[in-house]
Amino acid sequence: MNWKHVRETKTSKCIDFAGRLCSAAVLLLVRLSVIPILLWLSWEFAVHAALRFDIEGVPSVEELRSYRPMRTTVLFDRYGKPFARFFIEDRVELPLSGMSPWISKAVVAAEDARFPSHRGVSLAAIARAAIENRRAGTIRQGGSTITQQLARNMFLSRERTIERKVREAIIAFRLENEFSKEEILEKYLNEIYFGRGAWGVETASQVYFGKHARDLSLGEAALLAGVIPSPNRTNPGASPDAAEAGKRRVLARMFETGAISAQERSDAEAPVALVPEPGNLPSAHVRYPYYAMRVLNDTLLPQYGVNGAYGGGLRVHTMLDPDLQEAGERIAARSKHQLAIVGLDSETGGVRALVGGKDWHESQFDRAVQAYRQPGSAFKPLVYATLFEKKGWSGATTIQDAPISFGSGRNRWSPRNYDGKFRGSVTVERAIIGSLNVPAVRALSAAGAKVVAETVRSMGITTPYLPDNPTMALGSASLTPLEMAAAFSVFGNGGYRIVPTLVREIRDADGNVLFKAEEEKKRVLSEYAANGIRDILIKAVSSGTGRAARIDGFQVFGKTGTTNDFRDAWFVGGIPGFCAAVYVGDDDRKPLGKGATGGKIAAPIWQDFMEYAADALSAPTAFPKNTEKTPPVPRERGAQEKTDFVEESETASPAPPPEPVQAAPPPAEEKRPRIVQPALPPAAPDAMLIETETEKKLRELLEKYKIE
């Protein structure tokens, strides 16, 4: 045997085997690398397609960027404190920098530890979830990343279908491509639900801990992160024990991922303090409902619609003074009858308080702005103001308190005074202080009903129910307490009309100014006329029918009002810088009781409210002295010849007794008056029309608000 040949043969076989082995190894390596390369190329193609192609049911890039979640609209009082929230989803957005860093760390550790590195979808998380779910025999993990959860919350439903999961992944890719990780996490923390009606981390922080999200501790942040998988079952309001267990799981996960130290974990495991009751109970949404709902119904809904008012995140800064509003509500709650209280700044028109009834929960009918009622004698100063302005009258001008009639036969109407007596020639001052009916009718005749109507409308009376007949002098118009407060402000500020304003400024969620109230102040009466009437009304409070409204140490002006059968009682007036109207009357229009006049029923309520306001506002004690002592037009010294009942007197007569009630309206049939007065307008074809319109309006409102 040739051993050399044997060795060569063995060597050749070894080389051949090694070659085949290397070839097999190379082939295996090629095969192993090709599959990942193909998978990677397929993945890249899928991502590219997700980013570039239009796919049905998937929002475009423009839609992603323009998306805004539903945000809570908040109303603030004049001091910048919130008092009402309107929302579909109770959410206040914050930048990530405005949140505690613990909340970001807790949520990332608990929900998606690989969030900083993945591209929106984590295959490892999906595989891990599949293994865990198979082991548990049920769905315990979803495998969705934070980006996928955000995509689902923003644009998709929660149905468990392959189609939805595909759309979710595509949207996640697009989110990752268009936004930074910080932006995605910020959107997520503002978007997600934490139970108990709390959307977003800021609202959840307020609801459960009574603090801002920037102040969350590690333990509180971990508790909120633990609520995310099942917010309705594991939130602190539903189950404090489940919430604490979820917190401990999150802390353990944070420790595993290195987000916290062992000491920090140990310290944070102590139970966290919760607010006694969730901070978003229905009663906490709107603190002053009569005021807040007026802002909503009169401004927000008409201007911004339902989505804007409830989901636009508006910041509405109002004129509300919470101390005055609370005082008004306390006073109203003590009343035996329904009522309204309106208080406003007589210089700017800012409505500081608006109370529309005894109890909002008992009745949502807002009597401050929706109840059209006859003001009775409280309207008379507006009639006399017309004559002060147009004809140069003064408190010393005399007018006849003598019988006068309109119509004839069964349709005859003869206004009468409260006590049925006539006093002959009386001064305007005495007629106003004593609230005499007959002189007021004669005064309207001297001015003309149309002229009076023009004057009162210029002062802020906007009601459509303003009659064109002699009963207007006795307050047969139907108007609201807010209108009367605005009109009497003209006497309080020296002759300027102000526009009642509830809203000072509105900003959107980004801080852009959408609306800013401009002071609308226009002179409508001369200082002579406005201050002249005010001085008489000061005497009406100090020694006339409004004595129950006196406030020690303050000049107070005002006028009582009472209507037929004692159905309505009013007091309207003011102190320096502030004016208020109080109306008392039940919705069923039944009499308040015999002798229930404005002086007995409304004036004490007004005094109670205004005494508090005078102290809270640090109001001046006296009005400025009159600087304009002559009328803007020459006095009509020939008026007596024209009307046979007007003349001048140098001194005022003493005030007569109690307040009168509005006299009956004139007849329906148009007739010539028994005593002919050339300046007197004819009676209306249907003098009871105002009553019909008023009752119709009342029925509509009663039906709307389901008041029986």
Q: Are 562 and 452 in contact (CB under 8 A)?
A: no
Rounded Cα distance between 408 and 671, Å, is 7
Which pLDDT value is given to residue 555? 96
Query: What's the rounded mean pLDDT across residues 458-473?
Result: 92
Least confident of 130-144, 190-204, 638-652: 638-652
Q: Residue 140 contacts by C-beta under 8 Å, 6 or more apart in sequence?
A: 132, 133
Q: At 170, is the pLDDT very low, low, confident or very high (cuts 50, 70, 90)?
A: confident
Asked if pLDDT for residue 159 goes beyond 90, the answer is no
In the predicted structure, residue 304 carries a pLDDT above the cut 60:
yes
273-286: average pLDDT: 73
Phi, psi of 509 (to 5 degrees): -65, -20
The mean pLDDT value of the chain amounts to 82
CA 481 to chain centre: 19
Among 267-281, 362-376, 521-535, the least confident range? 267-281
Sequence-distant (≥ 6) Cβ neighbours of residue 484 within 8 angstroms:
375, 378, 461, 570, 572, 581, 583
Please give the pLDDT value at position 165: 78
pLDDT at 123 over 80: no
Contacts 24+ apart (CB under 8 A), 483-486: 484/375, 484/378, 484/570, 484/572, 484/581, 484/583, 485/342, 485/343, 485/344, 485/572, 485/579, 485/580, 485/581, 486/344, 486/349, 486/459, 486/460, 486/461
The stretch 561-572 carries a mean pLDDT of 93
Phi, psi of 671 (to 5 degrees): -140, 160
> What is the arithmetic mean of pLDDT over 57-62?
72
Is residue 540 within 8 Å of residue 503, measured between CB atoms? Answer: no
**What is d(CA 527, CA 529) in angstroms, rounded to the nearest whole number?**
6
Q: Do residues 94 and 190 make contact, with C-beta atoms less than 8 angstroms apart? A: yes
1 confidence band (pLDDT: 50, 70, 90): very low
pLDDT-above-70 percentage for the chain: 77
Better-predicted residue by pLDDT, 37 or 253: 253
The Cα-based distances of 163 to 33, 130, 139, 160 in angstroms read 31, 18, 18, 9
Residue 272 has pLDDT above 90, yes or no: yes
Q: Which string of b and e fits 517-537 if b means at least 16 CB within 10 Å?
A: beeeeeebbbbbbbbbbbbbb
Residue 310, token pair as written in the block: 């409830």
User: Domain 65-72+89-283 carries which CATH code?
Assistant: 1.10.3810.10
Topology (CATH level 3) of domain 330-687+700-704 = Beta-lactamase (3.40.710)
Query: Taking 90 as the threshold, does the pLDDT of residue 201 lie above it?
Result: yes
Share of the chain above pLDDT 90, in %: 60
* Joined tokens for residue 634: 């020459």
The answer to whether 231 touches 116, Cβ cutoff 8 Å, is no
CA distance 199 to 93: 9
- Selection from 25-34, 287-296, 399-408, 620-629 with the highest mean pLDDT: 287-296
**What pLDDT is recorded for position 644?**
36
Kindly state the average pLDDT of the residues 404-413.
81
Residue 459 has pLDDT above 70, yes or no: yes
